[in-house]
Structure 1
Amino acid sequence: MTLLRSLALFGAAALLEIGGAWLVWQGVREHRGWAWIGAGVIALGLYGLVATLQPDANFGRILAAYGGVFVAGSLAWGMVVDGFRPDRWDVTGALLCLVGVAVIMYAPRPDA
Protein backbone atom coordinates (compact mmCIF):
# COMPACT_ATOMS: atom_id res chain seq x y z
CA MET A 1 0.00 0.00 0.00
CA THR A 2 2.84 2.42 0.78
CA LEU A 3 4.36 1.87 -2.68
CA LEU A 4 1.03 2.54 -4.41
CA ARG A 5 0.49 5.66 -2.29
CA SER A 6 3.96 6.92 -3.12
CA LEU A 7 3.47 6.33 -6.85
CA ALA A 8 0.08 8.07 -6.76
CA LEU A 9 1.62 11.05 -4.98
CA PHE A 10 4.40 11.27 -7.55
CA GLY A 11 1.75 11.23 -10.29
CA ALA A 12 -0.30 13.95 -8.61
CA ALA A 13 2.81 16.04 -7.99
CA ALA A 14 3.81 15.71 -11.64
CA LEU A 15 0.39 16.82 -12.86
CA LEU A 16 0.43 19.81 -10.55
CA GLU A 17 3.99 20.94 -11.22
CA ILE A 18 4.08 20.32 -14.94
CA GLY A 19 0.54 21.58 -15.38
CA GLY A 20 1.28 24.65 -13.27
CA ALA A 21 4.41 25.46 -15.23
CA TRP A 22 2.50 24.94 -18.48
CA LEU A 23 -0.24 27.32 -17.33
CA VAL A 24 2.33 30.00 -16.49
CA TRP A 25 3.98 29.38 -19.87
CA GLN A 26 0.63 29.79 -21.60
CA GLY A 27 -0.13 32.95 -19.65
CA VAL A 28 3.20 34.58 -20.45
CA ARG A 29 4.49 33.11 -23.71
CA GLU A 30 1.14 32.62 -25.40
CA HIS A 31 -0.32 35.87 -23.99
CA ARG A 32 -3.32 34.21 -22.34
CA GLY A 33 -3.23 36.53 -19.38
CA TRP A 34 -3.06 36.74 -15.62
CA ALA A 35 -5.81 34.18 -14.93
CA TRP A 36 -3.67 31.46 -16.53
CA ILE A 37 -0.60 32.65 -14.66
CA GLY A 38 -2.52 32.73 -11.37
CA ALA A 39 -3.90 29.23 -11.92
CA GLY A 40 -0.37 28.05 -12.63
CA VAL A 41 0.98 29.60 -9.45
CA ILE A 42 -1.77 27.90 -7.42
CA ALA A 43 -1.02 24.54 -9.06
CA LEU A 44 2.68 24.97 -8.32
CA GLY A 45 1.89 25.71 -4.68
CA LEU A 46 -0.27 22.59 -4.48
CA TYR A 47 2.61 20.59 -5.95
CA GLY A 48 4.73 21.69 -2.98
CA LEU A 49 2.01 20.51 -0.62
CA VAL A 50 1.59 17.13 -2.32
CA ALA A 51 5.33 16.50 -2.16
CA THR A 52 5.17 16.73 1.64
CA LEU A 53 2.72 13.79 1.74
CA GLN A 54 5.29 11.22 0.56
CA PRO A 55 5.82 8.50 3.20
CA ASP A 56 9.63 8.99 3.21
CA ALA A 57 10.70 11.75 5.61
CA ASN A 58 13.81 12.87 3.68
CA PHE A 59 13.26 16.05 1.69
CA GLY A 60 16.37 15.58 -0.44
CA ARG A 61 15.46 12.04 -1.39
CA ILE A 62 11.88 12.97 -2.31
CA LEU A 63 12.91 15.91 -4.47
CA ALA A 64 15.78 14.05 -6.11
CA ALA A 65 13.49 11.18 -7.04
CA TYR A 66 10.76 13.56 -8.15
CA GLY A 67 13.26 15.08 -10.59
CA GLY A 68 13.20 11.83 -12.55
CA VAL A 69 9.40 11.75 -12.49
CA PHE A 70 9.42 15.35 -13.73
CA VAL A 71 11.65 14.47 -16.70
CA ALA A 72 9.46 11.59 -17.84
CA GLY A 73 6.24 13.44 -17.03
CA SER A 74 7.30 16.53 -18.96
CA LEU A 75 7.90 14.49 -22.08
CA ALA A 76 4.53 12.76 -21.64
CA TRP A 77 2.80 16.12 -21.08
CA GLY A 78 4.37 17.48 -24.24
CA MET A 79 3.14 14.47 -26.19
CA VAL A 80 -0.43 14.68 -24.91
CA VAL A 81 -0.92 18.45 -24.72
CA ASP A 82 1.44 19.94 -27.29
CA GLY A 83 1.84 17.17 -29.86
CA PHE A 84 5.55 16.75 -29.09
CA ARG A 85 7.12 13.55 -30.44
CA PRO A 86 10.13 12.44 -28.39
CA ASP A 87 12.98 10.74 -30.19
CA ARG A 88 14.67 7.58 -28.99
CA TRP A 89 17.16 9.58 -26.92
CA ASP A 90 14.37 11.41 -25.11
CA VAL A 91 12.72 8.09 -24.32
CA THR A 92 16.00 6.47 -23.28
CA GLY A 93 16.81 9.39 -20.99
CA ALA A 94 13.35 9.33 -19.43
CA LEU A 95 13.60 5.60 -18.78
CA LEU A 96 17.01 6.06 -17.16
CA CYS A 97 15.50 8.75 -14.94
CA LEU A 98 12.66 6.44 -13.89
CA VAL A 99 15.16 3.71 -13.03
CA GLY A 100 16.91 6.31 -10.89
CA VAL A 101 13.62 7.13 -9.18
CA ALA A 102 13.10 3.45 -8.35
CA VAL A 103 16.60 3.10 -6.94
CA ILE A 104 16.42 6.31 -4.89
CA MET A 105 12.95 5.74 -3.47
CA TYR A 106 12.36 2.03 -3.30
CA ALA A 107 15.71 0.29 -2.83
CA PRO A 108 15.87 -1.68 0.42
CA ARG A 109 17.68 0.20 3.17
CA PRO A 110 18.94 -1.16 6.46
CA ASP A 111 17.29 1.71 8.40
CA ALA A 112 13.88 1.23 6.75
Structure 2
Amino acid sequence: MVFENCDRVLVYQFAEDWSGEIVAESVGDFPSVLGSQVRDAYFQETKGADYLNGRRQVAHNIYHQGLTPCHLELLEQFQVKAILTVPIIINEQLWAQKEAFTFPKNYCFCQEN
Protein backbone atom coordinates (compact mmCIF):
# COMPACT_ATOMS: atom_id res chain seq x y z
CA MET A 1 0.00 0.00 0.00
CA VAL A 2 1.12 3.49 -0.78
CA PHE A 3 1.38 5.71 2.30
CA GLU A 4 4.21 7.96 1.15
CA ASN A 5 3.39 11.27 -0.53
CA CYS A 6 0.14 11.56 1.42
CA ASP A 7 -0.87 14.80 3.03
CA ARG A 8 -1.82 13.04 6.25
CA VAL A 9 -1.45 9.53 7.71
CA LEU A 10 -3.14 8.84 11.01
CA VAL A 11 -4.24 6.15 13.42
CA TYR A 12 -7.86 6.35 14.54
CA GLN A 13 -8.33 4.27 17.72
CA PHE A 14 -11.77 2.99 18.70
CA ALA A 15 -13.35 3.49 22.12
CA GLU A 16 -15.78 1.04 23.72
CA ASP A 17 -18.78 2.91 22.25
CA TRP A 18 -17.14 2.84 18.76
CA SER A 19 -16.43 6.53 18.75
CA GLY A 20 -12.75 7.19 18.31
CA GLU A 21 -9.74 9.39 18.78
CA ILE A 22 -6.87 10.25 16.48
CA VAL A 23 -3.94 8.90 18.50
CA ALA A 24 -1.07 9.20 15.99
CA GLU A 25 -0.51 11.43 13.01
CA SER A 26 2.03 12.38 10.38
CA VAL A 27 0.96 15.54 8.56
CA GLY A 28 2.48 17.89 6.02
CA ASP A 29 1.62 21.58 5.79
CA PHE A 30 -1.86 21.25 7.26
CA PRO A 31 -3.19 21.79 10.79
CA SER A 32 -2.80 18.79 13.09
CA VAL A 33 -5.91 16.85 14.12
CA LEU A 34 -4.06 14.74 16.73
CA GLY A 35 -6.29 14.14 19.73
CA SER A 36 -9.50 14.89 17.80
CA GLN A 37 -12.55 12.95 18.93
CA VAL A 38 -14.63 11.54 16.07
CA ARG A 39 -18.03 9.87 16.01
CA ASP A 40 -18.70 7.84 12.88
CA ALA A 41 -22.26 6.47 12.79
CA TYR A 42 -21.15 3.58 10.55
CA PHE A 43 -18.83 2.18 13.21
CA GLN A 44 -21.29 2.78 16.01
CA GLU A 45 -23.95 0.83 14.05
CA THR A 46 -21.79 -2.00 12.67
CA LYS A 47 -19.07 -2.23 15.35
CA GLY A 48 -16.60 -2.35 12.44
CA ALA A 49 -17.58 -5.89 11.41
CA ASP A 50 -16.66 -5.37 7.73
CA TYR A 51 -13.18 -4.15 8.65
CA LEU A 52 -12.67 -6.99 11.12
CA ASN A 53 -13.42 -9.35 8.23
CA GLY A 54 -10.76 -7.78 6.03
CA ARG A 55 -12.40 -4.78 4.37
CA ARG A 56 -10.11 -2.02 3.15
CA GLN A 57 -11.34 1.24 1.68
CA VAL A 58 -9.78 3.06 -1.22
CA ALA A 59 -11.54 6.15 -2.51
CA HIS A 60 -9.56 7.95 -5.21
CA ASN A 61 -12.25 10.64 -5.20
CA ILE A 62 -14.63 10.59 -2.24
CA TYR A 63 -17.41 12.08 -4.38
CA HIS A 64 -17.42 9.15 -6.82
CA GLN A 65 -17.34 6.21 -4.37
CA GLY A 66 -20.96 6.00 -3.25
CA LEU A 67 -20.17 7.14 0.28
CA THR A 68 -23.09 8.06 2.51
CA PRO A 69 -23.83 11.76 3.07
CA CYS A 70 -22.82 11.29 6.72
CA HIS A 71 -19.42 9.86 5.73
CA LEU A 72 -18.86 12.60 3.15
CA GLU A 73 -19.66 15.26 5.73
CA LEU A 74 -17.15 13.73 8.15
CA LEU A 75 -14.39 13.65 5.50
CA GLU A 76 -15.20 17.17 4.31
CA GLN A 77 -14.55 18.48 7.82
CA PHE A 78 -10.92 17.47 7.28
CA GLN A 79 -10.81 18.66 3.61
CA VAL A 80 -10.23 15.08 2.41
CA LYS A 81 -10.54 14.34 -1.31
CA ALA A 82 -9.08 10.81 -1.41
CA ILE A 83 -8.69 8.19 1.33
CA LEU A 84 -7.02 4.85 1.94
CA THR A 85 -8.12 2.94 5.06
CA VAL A 86 -6.83 -0.34 6.50
CA PRO A 87 -7.81 -1.99 9.80
CA ILE A 88 -5.47 -2.55 12.73
CA ILE A 89 -6.54 -5.81 14.37
CA ILE A 90 -5.12 -6.87 17.74
CA ASN A 91 -6.14 -10.11 19.45
CA GLU A 92 -8.90 -10.62 16.86
CA GLN A 93 -10.46 -7.25 17.77
CA LEU A 94 -10.67 -4.16 15.59
CA TRP A 95 -8.47 -1.81 17.61
CA ALA A 96 -7.95 1.04 15.18
CA GLN A 97 -7.63 2.07 11.57
CA LYS A 98 -4.66 3.45 9.70
CA GLU A 99 -5.84 6.09 7.27
CA ALA A 100 -4.06 8.08 4.60
CA PHE A 101 -5.57 11.21 3.12
CA THR A 102 -4.87 13.47 0.22
CA PHE A 103 -6.21 16.97 -0.06
CA PRO A 104 -7.13 19.08 -3.10
CA LYS A 105 -3.62 19.56 -4.49
CA ASN A 106 -2.90 15.81 -4.78
CA TYR A 107 -6.43 14.41 -5.08
CA CYS A 108 -5.87 10.68 -5.64
CA PHE A 109 -3.82 7.66 -4.65
CA CYS A 110 -2.01 6.76 -7.84
CA GLN A 111 0.65 4.10 -8.20
CA GLU A 112 3.62 5.00 -10.32
CA ASN A 113 4.95 2.38 -12.73
- TM-score range normalised by the length of the shorter chain: 0.3 to 0.5
Q: TM-score, normalised by structure 2?
A: 0.33
Query: Whose helix fraction is larger, Structure 1's or Structure 2's?
Result: 1
Query: Whose strand fraction is larger, Structure 1's or Structure 2's?
Result: 2
Which has the greater radius of gyration? Answer: 1
**Which is bigger in relative contact order (C-alpha 8 A, separation at least 6)?**
2
Q: TM-score, normalised by structure 1?
A: 0.34
